[in-house]
Amino acid sequence: MRQPRYRTLLAAALATTSVLAVPAAPAGAAPAPSPGIAVSDGMTQPVFSFADAIEERVWVETPLDTDHDGVLDRVVADISRPRETATEGFKVPVIFEHSPYRKGTWNDVPYPSVLVDELPQTGLTKHLRSQSQAIGIQQAKANLPGTLDDYYVPRGYAVVLGQSIGTADSDGCPTSGDTAETLGTKAIIDWLGGRAKAYNAAGAPVTADWTTGAVGMTGVSYNGTLPNMVATTGVENLKTIIPVSAISNWYDYYRANGLVVAPGTYQGEDLDILAQYTAGRARAEGRCADEIAQLTAEQDRITGDYSDFWRARDYLPDAKKVTASVFVVHGLNDWNVKTENFAGWWDRLAAADVPRKIWLHQGGHGGPGNTATVTLPDGQAWTYKQTENRWFDYWLWECRTAS
């Protein structure tokens, strides 16, 4: 049974679909923001030239060999950062989005059902494109996919877009939510913190000497689940995460008390179908065929039982290991990642006294939209994008006036 105070807090959130914050400022006086950034009303302002941003790709070495070829897998990280990080020695924090959907997905992977429909991840791609609203972004000569770099690089951040192990240009095979995928994600954070190796296209070692080491993660759906996953490792330089429509327990996503279910109305999809989708057809039917066949066997559609396979993809028991702050975002009408996934996660974070905030909205799968607005008790009104911005500033630049 949930503790009464957490049930009350969650009920308040459900009633108001507002932002709730738990005071969490570290003890002691806050340091002044580093020279170079501009802060107004507790929020960084776009003062760096995005047109002059540095864009680079590195291959980060993981401790894994998921395709069993005798070589440690490397995962791709694409980076955009202010030019001042190279010309003036200006060090910046990082906003990191990891994803299994960057390129080469198998869009028509067959379902084990006659009720074949478009994969929910395909719909997510359309949703993410629709979120590219007018939110004060700049244009650049070099430009990463999406708008994170457009918005945050001018505000004094580096943006890193990672490619999950076994997908896109990264090595290995997809493992869909388990420890291997978690450690593949963590490797990039370790590299940003000076604890892992990375290489450029020529094979030369590369260090992240341009960063403060402070990392914040965000993403929607699977891209939001990866922050939940890696946060449970307690990796030291991951300061905050913003999981949007994210999974906290894959059993609750694909199973329900022993019954086999599917996200939304995508009947027939299961964890192995998702792995094939993210791997791409050539990899799924080629060098990763054995690994995906093992997923098919161990996911157990026959009994639907909770097993070690699902425990490896259940992050709730490990919420007590989370040291990053967490800003949960979820739609109350999300039938893809259902609301129990945020509710269970929120309660476990509360029990562990993890610094946290929640934004609930009346929409479905995805965020509330960049221009969605909430009015706080003090009368101030903030859009979702401003709230996201202030949250990152608070935890990564230590602008302690953020709400």
What secondary structure, in 3-state letters, does the chain show? Answer: CCCHHHHHHHHHHHHHCCEEECCCCCCCCCCCCCCCCCEECCEECCCCCCCCCEEEEEEEECCCCCCCCCCCCEEEEEEEECCHHHHCCCCEEEEEEEECCCCCCCCCCCCCCCCCCCCHHHHHHHHHHHCCCCCCCCCCCCCCCCCHHHHHHHHCCEEEEEECCCCCCCCCCCCCCCHHHHHHHHHHHHHHCCCCCEECCCCCECCCCCEEEEEEEEEECHHHHHHHHHHCCCCCCEEEEEEECCCCEHHHHHEECCEECCCCCCCCCCHHHHHHHHHCHHHHHCCCHHHHHHHHHHCCCCCCCCCHHHHCCECHHHHHHCCCEEEEEEECCCCCCCCHHHHHHHHHHHHCCCCEEEEEECCCCCCCCCCCEEECCCCCEEEHHHHHHHHHHHHHHCCCCCC
What does the block give as tokens for 112?
């084990």
Distance from chain centroid for Cα 10: 22
- Cα separation of 237 and 187, whole Å? 12
pLDDT at position 265 is 67
Task: Find the farthest-apart pair of alpha carbons in the chain and give their distance in angstroms, rounded.
Answer: 62
- Burial pattern 259-284, b for ≥16 Cβ within 10 A else e, equals ebebbbebbebbbbbbbbbbbbeebb
Q: How would you write the pLDDT of the chain (403 residues) with one tens digit per residue?
A: 323 333 333 333 333 333 333 333 333 334 434 448 999 988 999 999 999 999 999 999 999 999 999 999 999 999 999 999 999 999 999 999 999 999 999 998 987 654 545 555 554 444 433 443 344 444 444 589 999 999 999 999 999 999 999 999 999 999 999 999 999 999 999 999 999 999 999 999 999 999 999 999 999 999 999 999 999 999 999 999 999 999 999 999 999 999 999 888 677 899 999 999 999 999 999 999 999 999 999 999 999 999 999 999 999 999 999 999 999 999 999 999 999 999 999 999 999 999 999 999 999 999 999 999 999 899 999 999 999 999 999 999 998 654 4
Percentage above 90 pLDDT, the chain = 78
Assess contact for 288 and 166: CB atoms under 8 A: yes
Q: What size, in residues, is the chain?
A: 403
User: Which residues form the catalytic set?
Assistant: 221, 334, 365
- Cα separation of 63 and 340, whole Å? 33
Q: Which amino acid is at 235?
A: V
Assess contact for 363 and 331: CB atoms under 8 A: yes
Assess contact for 93 and 214: CB atoms under 8 A: yes
- Cα separation of 284 and 277, whole Å? 8
Of residues 359, 326, 395, 400, the one with CA closest to residue 41: 400
Look at phi and psi of residue 306 and say left if phi exceeds 0, alpha if psi is from -120 to 50, else beta. beta
